[in-house]
Structure 1
């Protein structure tokens, strides 16, 4: 029988460091959004007709957050006992961190979308 090499997403372990990745990406996108808006308003006086750089940054942030959530979802589906996972075992801690990361990824995904909404609806700099 051949040994199955684990997929790259299975080799990654969800830790406290991976827990902060989605909100950090959202915070970076938030800073990028305000910097982009202030620079484009200062130079042009209005948002660009099609903000290519802003759309590229938003899509990149959404992809990275979705990737983080997908990795956490895969880590949370590891085989083990039935729910509730309330014991103090390594697999239960991994599932807790994976579920927390997945929820933060969902929240951060929505937050990036809400951060991008003003560019869609607002065209003038006031």
Structure 2
């Protein structure tokens, strides 16, 4: 675990890293609703928590947590206290890292709430 955190510390947060968590949530959201539509149309019944849906949800959560860990490591870069508005490279890095960390938390919650209907609902009506 410590080795993985050391590797995450070396990675840099960029705009590409910033869009990974919400994009992962959007793909999971699309996957979830397509899965529900296809299972209700083809099977005719609500399939209770199939393996493909569980695997897709776990993969989405792992990707989001990975982006969050990288952002958390980068947000802890030493420097001036917030606000990070000076325009220096370190301030830009910490601003992107903090934004990515917040988007990761929001996307994690969104994926969990997207997966909840599969657990709660039991009918295609």
> TM (normalized to structure 2)?
0.90
List alignment gaps of at least 5 residues for structure 2: none
Aligned with 1:20: secondary structure?
helix
Q: Could you say what secondary structure the match of 1:48 adopts? A: coil
The structural deviation recorded for 1:85 is 2.8
The count of residues paired between Structure 1 and Structure 2 equals 121
Q: Is residue 2:86 matched to residue 1:87?
A: yes
1:107-126 → structure 2 map (5 Å cutoff): 107-126=106-125
C-alpha distance after superposition, 1:6-41 (max 9, x if no partner): 932122111111110000000000010011111111
Superimposed CA distance per residue, residues 49-80 of structure 1 (whole angstroms, 9 cap, x where no aligned partner): 34111111111101110110010000110122
CA distance in structure 1 between the partners assigned to 2:6 and 2:49 by the alignment: 39
Say if 2:20 and 2:67, in contact at 8 Å, map to a contact too.
yes
Aligned to 2:27: 28
- Equivalent-residue separation in structure 1 for 2:77 and 2:46 (angstroms): 47
Whether the 8 Å contact between 1:72 and 1:99 is mirrored in structure 2 is yes
Moved over 3 A (4+): none
Structure number with greater Rg is: 1
- What's the C-alpha RMSD, in Å, of the aligned pairs? 1.5
Distance 1:66 1:13 in 2: 16
Determine helix, strand or coil for the equivalent of 1:7: helix
Larger helix fraction of residues = 2
Q: Is the Cα contact below 8 Å between 1:45 and 1:124 reproduced in 2?
A: no
Question: TM-score normalized by structure 1?
Answer: 0.89
Mapping 1:70-109, distance limit 5 Å: 70-109=69-108
CA contact 2:13–2:74 (8 Å) conserved in 1: yes
